Amino acid sequence: MSEQLVYSVSEEDLGNQQAGPALVEQTRACMQKNGAVGINNVFDTALLERVHQAYIDRYEVVGAEANNKQVGDKRSMLAVEIKPPFSDVELLLNPFLMPIVTRLLGADCILDAYTAVSSLPGAADQHVHVDYPYLFEDEALSQSLPTYTITVAVPLLPLTPLTGTTRIWPGSHRNPSGWKEPPPIKDSVSLFPEFGGCYLFDARLQHGGTANLSDRSRPILYLVYTRPWWRDYTNFSNQKPLNIDAAELATLSDPIKTLFRFA
Ligand SMILES: O=C(O)CCC(=O)C(=O)O
């Protein structure tokens, strides 16, 4: 039987408005073993629809792509401007995610980057990659370390086999099979959480976006939570990883400011 990679926030946790110990333990164990986990029922779908519309209005307009980083065929990344609705507390400090994120990264974790990757209609499969260089030249040593950076991927529309999703190689953050790049497709899994869900992956995981065979673009938010000493020094040459101005930062609550303390 194949490994469980997608979990759901239970009715009880929904009622308590917080991830309970069972979900935290299941998702922690899954992240440790597989380097990724999908979680359903995390976000209010009405909020995601508002964010999606704001994304379309701001970024799917001619000229908006000037600073985007190309990350594959018809696929680019932009640092979203952190203001409503992108600055909603449910996105930045989600009560179902933060107990999991802080369990894995420590209570003093920070947000290092907040971006969106969008694949346009007709985008081909993305190359298989890890998002950042390993911490040390010694790969085995780097792979033996505990998790230090987690990307939370939040699809802004329902993912289907037509829109595509992200394909991951479970366990590749530790690479026990000694895969060389690219690892065999047969060992990959395409994650399809329900709309309102998300998936988390370890910074060392091999992954790649799949083709977009639909007629709509497929924006996915990427919130990169990390231990406070880590920075992405490779992906931001002409964009700021946290695109927020001082006036907007001043309006945020203290717990969010703490998460942004290196912005
Ligand atoms: O488009 C996707 O689903 C994945 C994109 C991605 O993994 C990346 O750009 O690093």
Sheet order of strands, 149-155 included = 6-8, 36-40, 198-202, 149-155, 218-226, 110-119, 75-79, 69-72
* pLDDT in the model for residue 63: 75
Residue environment code for 72-95, b if the CB has 16+ CB neighbours within 10 A, otherwise e? bbbbbbbbbbbbebbbbebbbbbe
* pLDDT in the model for residue 238: 86
| 48 Cα–ligand 1 center, Å | 19
| 84 Cα–ligand 1 center, Å | 24
* pLDDT in the model for residue 179: 72
Residue 166 CA: nearest ligand 1 atom is 3
* pLDDT in the model for residue 234: 93
Residue 165 CA: nearest ligand 1 atom is 3
Answer whether 0.75 is exceeded by the pTM.
Answer: yes
Domains detected in the chain:
6-259 (2.60.120.620)
* pLDDT in the model for residue 183: 85
Which residues does ligand 1 sit against, CB inside 6 Å?
71, 75, 77, 117, 119, 126, 131, 166, 207, 209, 220
How many helices (DSSP H) and strands (DSSP E) are in the chain?
Answer: 8, 11
Average pLDDT across each block of 10 residues of the chain; the chain has 263 residues. List them in order: 89 98 98 97 98 96 82 94 97 98 98 97 95 92 95 98 97 81 88 97 96 98 98 92 95 96 88
CA distance 10 to 1: 23
Contact 218, 126 (CB under 8 A): no
* pLDDT in the model for residue 244: 95
| 120 Cα–ligand 1 center, Å | 12
Q: Which amino acid is at 174?
A: R
